[in-house]
A and B are shown apart, each in its own frame.
Chain A
Amino acid sequence: MIIRELSWQLSSLAIASLVFFPLVTLLWVSVDANLEVLTHLAATVLQDYVTTSILLMVGVAILTLCVGVGSAWLVTHFRFTGDSIFSWALLLPLAVPTYITAYSYTGLLDVAGPIQSYIRQFFEIGVGDYWFPEIRSLNGAIFVIGFVLYPYVYLLARSAFMDQSGSLQDVSRLLGFSSKRTFFKITLPIARPAIVAGVSLALMETLADFGAVSYFGLSTFTTGIFRTWYGLDSVSGAAQLALMLLSFIIVLMVIEKHSRKRSGYQSKMRKQPRHTTKLVGASNAIAFTLALTPVLLGFILPMLQLIVWSVQTHAALYTAAFWSLVANTLGLASVTTTIALFLALIIAYANRLAPNRVTSFSKRVAGLGYAVPGTIIAVGTLIPLARLDNTIDAWFRMHFDLSTGLLLSGTLAALIIAYLVRFLAVALSSIDSGLNSISLNIDYAARSLGQAPLKSIQKVHIPMLKGSLITALLIVFVDVMKELPATLILRPFNFNTLAVRAYELASDERLMDASLASLFIVLAGLVPVILLTKASVKR
């Protein structure tokens, strides 16, 4: 029994070390720094980095909360025109890489874009004679990032709402609560862990974003990290900034954990079907419009722009090279997603089995990678892996006069490890919040019936977790497909993905040529979305 528990703890620790090593590498690199770079930054731009990042986070948090929770509430509690379509359509913005949405909106709303040009032509006025919202600004960034990332909140909030038993609503009604009060006093607090998990995913991705933010000309912490590395040629200074970013995340996590205290929200009741209200007339129209808006802004509009561009550049579609991009992307995403889900399940379950220091430490650490910009994760993976490879090589040279070369570095394995470091957090948060909503009594029952933990995970938890697992699958899959910086740095020779191709063309200011690859990222992202829908319809 003890040995069995120990092996769970050890595996959980081993998986966490995957994330831990890159972070320790970061620390090791940052020690190298002279204080001069940091002093310069503190005297000039650091304050701007901090302020902009915080404002961006606050804006994105508010937007994703309102849109994500609001839309999840709409589709789970009301029946209105198109509700079953919206329940999956609301996920679509997630399939578009943030920087691609940023490029599309800029193309559309920029001073030289079609809308403003038309205004100037029609009214015969010049630039500066009229007011128009500046897309490349802090507000523009909040708008774009918020409407791309709200599905994280939507997804987790929706499954939390769906898991709530209808009997809770009954109790609330019996107590004389209005439906508004029921929402704020009962539905929302119970769904809070899931919603918080969704918002923190959105915020971590916001903090790590480079593409969109730098295109908008904002000075955030992450753009600062790159400026320090590339411009000031100080990897160590960049590592220090990345560590500051990380500490900030840890503080936020601790605050959140304490504010939630130890209150658990496990349902011990038998599930009753939820009640939904059928909307008619004006309220139906309002619900329809409310649900349509996020899909329109986060998906349809940028997609239209991409399609218009793709029509002009579709010739690339008929080349073998393009299809190998598609195959590479899908292959990488599938393999990584499978491994990530498996590892996250072990960590989450080990912590459930024995919630002690070791397992909760592992869980915390494994959840950190997502907030660190991909490039920094890539460097943190690159350095220890190469060191390991070179040590093995040196050993073999010494003892057998044989060179093993680089075993892991420069292979797909290295790339997949980096993806895991970054995206384990995503899988973990979804699985963990799912696991938390399963009553521990079920575990006790399974155990007293003589099921070993491994068996009870297979027979009891995984079937009950199906929703959370598919959610995790969807997010990790889409995230890997969109991933850019780590792919750019770690990939093997002659290996490209759709995201790499889209980025190379877009960053060369050839948005039009980049549109086809971007469109295919979105199309491929639809596969897991459809899967998820099918699974949740069955439930």
Chain B
Amino acid sequence: MNQYLVHFSLVIAISLLLSACEKPSAEVNLYSARKEVLIRPLLEQFTQDTGITVNVISSKADALLKRIESEGINSPADVLLTTDAGRLFRAKSAGVFTPIASDVIESNVPKQYRDSENYWTGLSVRVRPIMVTEEGKKFNLSRYEDLSNPELSGQICIRSSSNIYNQSLVSSLLAASPTEEVETWAKGLVGNMARSPQGGDRDQIRAAAAGQCSIVVANTYYLASMISNEDKSDDFSAGSAMTVIWPNQVEGRGAHVNISGAGVVKSAPNKDNAVKLIEFLSSDKAQEIYANVNFEYPVKADIPLHPVLQKWGEFNADPLNVDYLGEKNADAVKLMDRAGWK
């Protein structure tokens, strides 16, 4: 009796061991700077299509980068997903990424939104235009540079300079003009603020609609999500009060854009699946989710936009290589410190 039991358990143990070795579970480990709730619909679609399970840790990009660096060659991370180009640049400089060789990605994502050596790729475009209320229309704004005009005193609501999109906006200005000019501009902008910077992008729109200011600089997807949901009536009416102005269209470079993107980690234990995940994120199916659920602009051409985005019309985006935003980020922050932009 006892012997049977021993044999039986041995068989079980061996078969368990075999099954563990035999079937390398199809999975990919994602370190995501994008909030998990936002990325979930995309990942579920990926698992459905490929059978590959996605394990996620979501946190701040810099913290995730530090974690990958510390974990070293044993890091379980396959893909690092960020919400701005600066962090991709940092990850590349830190030697965390490995180049991706993928024809799919190369044909899906325009060159402007990819690393020149294919260490990372952009996956969605985030635009930061100027928005005005009825009141703000009279200033006839057409360029970011106009925001420092003294006649706009007390009219502008914009969030803190700790925000990455303000930092990248200033970086893009540094590409267009000499540092001293940008610093003067930043000081002028600070002088025109209706209030000390506070809250997020939506809060700026709400404040403008309430009448505290008439000009806002904010990312479009915030505005789009406010006016796409008529159930939340306060936000809907606040958002509807705003008109989007695409800056620097006539002369010069175009509206400032940043990207969200991803790269494959050098020590990735599931490299093939990592590439598959990024390829999927650049595919039509995923790009449509970016456009229709998250209200971002797809990187891939010919993806139908959300009706709200269509209404705002076409615009020229700043063709500056987004790499530059990362390179200049620290300079931009220092400049804003000097200008007294809190």
Contacts and interface: CB of A to CB of B under 8 A. Distances in A.
Interface of A: 40-41, 44-45, 106, 110-112, 116-117, 120, 126-128, 136, 214-217, 219, 223, 226-227, 229-235, 375, 378-379, 382-383, 386-387, 389-390, 393, 403, 405-406, 409-410, 488-496, 500-501, 504-505, 507-509, 512
B13 interface: no
B111 interface: no
7 contacts: A136-B199, A215-B198, A215-B199, A217-B199, A390-B72, A504-B36, A512-B232
Interface of B: 29, 35-38, 55-60, 62-64, 66-67, 70-76, 90, 160-162, 164, 167, 196-203, 206-207, 209-212, 222, 232, 234, 238, 329-330, 333-334, 337-338, 342
B35 A112 contact: no
A4 B197 CA distance: 59
Given A387-B70, A495-B57, 4 more contacts: A44-B334, A112-B206, A215-B198, A219-B342
Contacts of B232: 512
Contact of A111 (B59, B200, B207): B207
Nearest to A513: B37
A231 B162 contact: yes
B55 A493 contact: yes
Nearest to B63: A489
Nearest to B58: A504
Contacts of A507: 35
A410 B337 CA distance: 36
Nearest to A223: B162
Q: Which 7 A-B pairs have the closest CB atoms?
A: A217-B198, A112-B206, A493-B55, A386-B70, A231-B333, A44-B337, A112-B210
Contacts of B329: 231, 233
Instruction: Determine the main DSSP class of A at the interface with B.
Output: helix
Given A217-B160, A219-B342, A111 B212 contact: yes
Contacts of B64: 489
A230 B62 contact: yes
B284 to A, nearest CB: 25
Contacts of B73: 390
B160 A112 contact: no
B70 A409 contact: yes
Contacts of B160: 214, 217
A509 B71 contact: no
Contacts, number: 143
Nearest to B86: A233
B225 to A, nearest CB: 9
Contacts of B90: 233
A379 B74 contact: no
Given A44-B338, A409-B70, A491-B57, A509 B162 contact: no
Nearest to B38: A508
Given A409-B70, A410-B71, A231 B197 contact: no
B333 A112 contact: no
Contacts of A216: 198
Contacts of B71: 386, 389-390, 406, 409-410
Contact of B57 (A111, A126, A493): A493
Given A44-B338, A233-B329, A382-B67, A217 B197 contact: yes
B66 A235 contact: yes
A504 B35 contact: yes
A450 to B, nearest CB: 50
Interface centre among A112, A215, A386 (most CB of B within 10 A): A112
Contacts of B58: 488, 500, 504
Nearest to B335: A44
B59 A489 contact: yes
Contacts of A128: 211-212
B187 to A, nearest CB: 13
B63 A488 contact: yes
Interface centre among B37, B70, B234, B238 (most CB of A within 10 A): B70
B72 A386 contact: yes
B25 to A, nearest CB: 13
Contacts of B210: 111-112, 116-117, 120, 127
Contact of B201 (A40, A44, A406, A509): A509
B7 to A, nearest CB: 29
Given A230-B62, A379-B63, A410-B71, A496 B199 contact: no
Nearest to A125: B211
Nearest to A508: B35
Contacts of B206: 110-112
B70 A383 contact: yes
Nearest to B210: A112
Contact of B74 (A106, A227, A406): A406
Nearest to A231: B333
B164 A496 contact: no
A269 to B, nearest CB: 53
B26 to A, nearest CB: 15
Interface centre among A230, A495, A496 (most CB of B within 10 A): A230
Contacts of A500: 58
Contacts of A215: 198-199
Contacts of A496: 36
A112 B209 contact: yes
A501 B35 CA distance: 9
A154 to B, nearest CB: 30
A322 to B, nearest CB: 12
A234 B197 CA distance: 23
A217 B337 CA distance: 14
B262 to A, nearest CB: 17
A106 B63 contact: no
A231 B167 contact: yes
Nearest to A48: B342
A234 B333 CA distance: 12
